Amino acid sequence: MSQPEDQALDTNVINRDDYDLAVRHAPRIRFDIREPFLPSMVGYTVFRTKSASPSFPREIELPDGAVCAIEYAVWWDWEIQHLYELEHIWIYLDANEQIIGGEASWHGGYHDMHDGDALPVENKQLILYSEPGKHAFAPARQWLIDRADQTRLSCGAHAGRAGVLVTPLFEGKITSRTPLANRAVHSYLECLAFEPSFDFSNVLALEKATFVAWDALEAWIPERVAWCAGEVQRTFPIEQQHLYTIAHRGASAYAPENSLDAFRKAAEMGSDLVEVDIRVTADGVPVVTHDATLKRVFGVDGVVSELTLERLNAITPEGMAPVPTFAQVAEICADLGMGLYLDIKDFNADAGAQVLATLERTGLLKFCIAGSFRPDLVADIKAFEPRLYTSILFGAVNIDPVGLAQAIHADYVHPCWERRAPNPHTLLSPEWITRVHNAGLGIVCWHEERPDEIAALRTLGVDMICSDNPDRVSIHKTICPP
């Protein structure tokens, strides 16, 4: 992707000595021979005293014998699971410019690059291995073989699922993580999914990338991300993009609703998210159950809010799985690679804080949508946690969806018209879809079980469909360009 000239990277060399030093010692990186993405830019920083890294959350300290450190912030436009990648390499040089230490980034942290007692160095260049698709760095192939199953999942079934990445470094600077950008990015990367070979014979001399001072790269990144996101949206027809499957209370047509078995079944059927309702027990524990009472599902008397979790479990009939806690549901969904669609019936600050803490801990915050029929709750949730996507549900056909969503800063509109017409898609015109999408809003529909209706909604370009039969939605795969 070639960016317009008015968004060009500033490649002026401010300090020639630092530039030459960084290029001279640029590492060699071994890539999988099937790797679809190679780095294009490197932001360098040279340290001669202890100092905080400008691009990574750590202090740079010079070990004994080192006179300087070089930090390489290595940029890719794409990683197999999201738009853009920024990995880091650090080398430490003595007075003779010999490399006496090396470190590299690894899934949010960093580690020493010694392989046993040896530092992999050839001709004054550090040699690293790059994880297929994900690009985390390792000093030896075995490190990546040990993660092979997880890497295959990332490069296959989970390709693109993170959409547009926003790290803490770019919080408030990258603003292109929108529902539509995420969907387009997901679809684009899904088409580039691959099976890693773990043959790392593709060796890249990093000095072939464009080297710039870190400040220049940092200033360019938000524009570059916005441009890439816009290009994918512009060139990938929305009716061919990934249609998100929301399993209604799990795969509730195949297993008891809101049970852990229903969530596991949803994952087997290719669901992206599961829809759940959260209620709170008498002792303040968020649990996942739709009804206020236990009568319909469990056949026993009892109001969830009047029972402690212990009592709730005790009165569950023998042979039936008890109401799961939200923490249990979040953990299993995180393990299975699914997000959550929360149908909020009430907003309790204490329970809300617990739910958000659980989403943060399990890494699901960026894969979660909180929706409600109550605009005040949606507005409160967005104010409480701006990073959480929100959805406004409504049943009125003649309401202005864009005005309603914008008034409460919602990210999705959710027309609940399944009972308004025999064929809900007839209430959605192409003009309605286009207006909502042009406002940057995603569209959720539920819950639909009829294959013909699901196909019609997909053709119109809705973004997500909720269903008791998630397998009927998930068969509508991304249509990759030739």
Q: Hey, how many other C-beta atoms are within 10 angstroms of the C-beta on 413? A: 25
At 49 the pLDDT is 96
CA 135 – CA 396 distance, rounded (Å): 48
Question: What are the counts of helices (DSSP H) followed by strands (DSSP E) for the chain?
Answer: 15, 23
* Residue the block writes with tokens 């410019």: 97
At 1 the pLDDT is 58
> Residue type at 67?
V
Which residues of the chain carry a pLDDT beneath 50?
A: 5-6
CA 214 – CA 54 distance, rounded (Å): 8
Q: Measured in Å, how far apart are the chain's first and last C-alpha atoms?
A: 17
CA 26 – CA 302 distance, rounded (Å): 67
Write the DSSP string, 4-55. PGGG------S-HHHHHHHHHTPPEEEE-TT------EEEEEEESS-EE-SS
At 5 the pLDDT is 46
At 2 the pLDDT is 59
The whole-model pTM stands at: 0.93
Element (H, E) at 182: helix 179-190
> Residue type at 169?
L
At 117 the pLDDT is 86
Tokens coding 285: 């524990």
Backbone angles phi, psi at 53, to 5 degrees: -65, 135
